[in-house]
Amino acid sequence: MIKAIKGTRDILPPASAVWNRVEAVAREVFRTFNYHEIRTPIFEETSLFARGVGEDTDIVGKEMYTWEDRDGTSITLRPENTASVMRAYIEHRLDQIPGVKKFYYIGPMFRRERPQKGRYRQFFQIGAEAIGSDSPIVDAEVIEMVVEILKGCGLKPVPEKDGFHLIINSVGCPKCRPEFMNALREKLATLAPQMCADCQRRAVTNPLRVLDCKVPEDQVHIDTLPSILDHLCEECHGHFKIVQSHLHGRGIAYEVRPRLVRGLDYYMRTTFEITHGALGAQNSVLGGGRYDGLAESLDSKVPAPGIGFSIGEDRLVLSVEAMSASEESNTVDVYLAPMGDAADALAGTLAAELRSAGISVERSVDRKLKRALEVANKMGARFALILGDNEIAAGTYLLKDMAAGEQESLTRDQLIARIRKNS
């Protein structure tokens, strides 16, 4: 038997309904913040991610799905989408359009990492990018939008039990970060030999990545490393203070965590992450930050400061499911059970009428009433609509409430109003 490849999975009903609801919430929040959908290819030239994400990141060095095309071009399945959005922004000269360009995307990404709870090799992200402004006000609004998406999905912020927790930091800019990097290298010269193999390598190639280490035994060493907040230049310090001020003004709780860095090289200044208690040890739901130098690294002649985020949709769905144990089991409003040839002929037009009124209908092809009702019950149908010769002759419809076990005869005019009232 052929099975799904390791690190991938099928999303089946009724779980797919939760995915649809999460995406619907996200799309509505994006609409209210005036973000518009962008759809980029799922594969790009490898150099886009090598230059945009960073040669020394684990994503580029270990996790990308890369192959050589027939013309010799190196192609990679997208491991993330910010670089792709920026590539599209540059290629299509979107900088010529006035104002901040606001994009969102929903789709699959690919990384060959060790599968674990909520993490897959084909995974899904809901993300957004605001390109064209370096204002800290935009940073605060992007974070506010993320919070609204989570709240719209039914999650609650701390201090609620298993609430989501917003963590923010500033990772400085090319002006002030070198001083911090020198201090970091100096400290790591003595600490790195006591840390994991990845940290020993990163201490040489990209010391900032050491702060992103998730190995528990290394945390005691990481806690002794210098703080980026002690090395921010005046502009970065002021930028970060304004972000915090706007978050405070909007009533958004947060924690400043100086060790927070993102795993991609293009981030600068504001970075943020949201964790959720229902996910256990690997509890990050989303992350994001500012990437003011990304466009220039991709050969843009016009600066394009931006900030964005990506939600791990797989993990967000896990959080939503964990917080909504009372998820409705109903998958269909009406299970239509016609009994006989005349009823079959009428059932088609009746089903079409109900569906046009926004009522979901599943039509039985089994003429045995007992069996039809058993199927309706297993499907979680709210109502069973029984249509037989007697009902046709009387011009009425027998509607059974599957939860209450009660049934009543209704005219066609009464039918839709009754179903809507209890749906």
Indicate whether 301 and 368 sit together in one domain: no
Q: How confident is the model at residue 60 (pLDDT cuts 50, 70, 90)?
A: confident
Do 340 and 318 sit in the same domain of this protein? no
Q: Residue 234 pLDDT more than 50?
A: yes
Domain containing residue 147: CATH number: 3.30.930.10
| Mean predicted confidence (pLDDT) in 166-188 | 89
Domain end (from 259, 290, 323): 323
Which amino acid appears at position 139 of this protein? Answer: D
- The answer to whether residues 265 and 370 belong to one domain is no
pLDDT, residue 422, reads: 64
Asked if the structure places residue 146 within a domain, the reply is: yes
Report which of residues 85 and 367 the model is more confident about.
85
Range list of H helices, 230-367: 234-249, 294-297, 313-323, 341-356
With 0-12 / 13-18 / 19 or more C-beta atoms within 10 angstroms meaning exposed / middle / buried, residue 41 is exposed
| pLDDT above 70 (res 295) | yes
Which tokens hold the place of 37? 């959908």
Is the same domain home to 290 and 365?
no
pLDDT tens readout for residues 381-395: 889 888 887 777 777
DSSP 216: G
Q: In the prediction, which pLDDT does 340 show?
A: 79
In a domain, 85, yes or no: yes
Query: Average pLDDT of the chain?
Result: 87
Give the SS3 label for residue 241. Answer: helix
Q: 319 with 338, same domain?
A: no
Task: Check whether 55 has a pLDDT greater than 80.
Answer: no
278 pLDDT more than 70: no
Burial of 190 (0-12, 13-18, 19+ CB in 10 A): exposed
pLDDT for the residue 211: 84
Q: Is residue 280 pLDDT above 60, yes or no?
A: no
For residue 362, count CB atoms less than 10 angstroms from its CB and return exposed for 0-12, middle for 13-18, buried for 19 or more: middle
| pLDDT value of residue 212 | 79
What is the model's pLDDT at position 140?
A: 97
- Looking at the fold, whether 146 and 69 belong to one and the same domain comes out as yes
Residue 423 near residue 382, CB atoms below 8 Å: yes
Q: Does residue 195 fall inside a structural domain?
A: no
**339-353 average pLDDT score:** 83
Q: Domain end: 270, 297, 323, which one?
A: 323
Q: Which pLDDT band holds residue 150 (cuts at 50, 70, 90)?
A: very high
Domain count, the chain: 2
Domain termination site, one of 261, 294, 323: 323
Q: Is the pLDDT of residue 329 over 70?
A: no
Binned at pLDDT 50, 70 and 90, residue 174 comes out as: confident
Q: What is residue 265's predicted lDDT score, i.e. its pLDDT?
A: 61
Alpha helices in 334-411 (DSSP H): 341-356, 369-379, 389-394
Domain-located, residue 57: yes
Q: Give pTM, 2 decimals.
A: 0.83
Question: And the tokens for 269?
Answer: 């200044």
CB 321 within 8 A of CB 144: no
Quote the percentage of the chain above a pLDDT of 90: 42
Q: Residue 330 — pLDDT band, cuts 50, 70, 90?
A: low
pLDDT at 350: 86
Residues 340 and 288 in one domain: no
Residue 212 lies in a domain: no
- Regarding whether 254 and 169 lie in a shared domain, the answer is yes
Q: What's residue 328's pLDDT?
A: 47
Could you read off the pLDDT of 89-104 as tens digits, one per residue? Answer: 999 999 898 899 999 9
To which residue do tokens 């000269």 refer? 93
What domain range includes position 143?
Answer: 15-176+232-323
Model pLDDT, residue 327: 45
The string of pLDDT tens digits covering residues 162-171 is 789 999 999 9
159 and 259 belong to one structural domain: yes
